[in-house]
Amino acid sequence: MSARAGTGLRRGGSHHLRVNPIDCVAHGMCHELLPEQIALDEWGYPVIGDDPVPPGLLALARQAVQTCPTRALLLERRRTE
Ligand code: SF4
């Protein structure tokens, strides 16, 4: 885990990145912004785990979502039960 990363837990839920593979065009801009959370496969498509985005990386995650040219990258908030 990077020094920028925290626990990923926030009161009321957690944030998770996911990608819509149909809309993604695999140029990797999201990985450039957030390599701690987004890897690339051999074809340049993002590989995103299901771990929550740590609070310290949320601003970068939102920036990655906003700069995705095809809006394929999504940031979901999940409530804790
Ligand atoms: S920035 Fe968007 S289109 Fe580009 S690789 Fe990431 S998810 Fe796919």
How many Cβ atoms are within 10 Å of 38's Cβ, its own excluded? 21
Q: Global pTM?
A: 0.83
Q: How confident is the model at residue 10 (pLDDT cuts 50, 70, 90)?
A: very low
- Is residue 19 within 8 Å of 50, Cβ to Cβ? no
Give me ligand 1 centre to Cα 81, in Å. Answer: 31
Question: How far apart, in whole angstroms, are the C-alpha atoms of residue 33 and residue 50?
Answer: 18
Band the pLDDT of 80: cuts 50, 70, 90. Answer: confident
- Can you give the residue ranges of every domain in the chain? 13-79
- Ligand 1: residues with CB < 6 A are 19, 24-30, 46, 68, 70, 72-73
* Fold assignment, 13-79: Alpha-Beta Plaits (3.30.70)
Provide the percentage of residues in the chain whose pLDDT is more than 70: 85
The protein residue whose alpha carbon is closest to atom 3 in ligand 1 is: 24
Q: Which residue has the higher pLDDT, 75 or 4?
A: 75
Cα three-residue angle 41-42-43, rounded to 5 degrees: 90
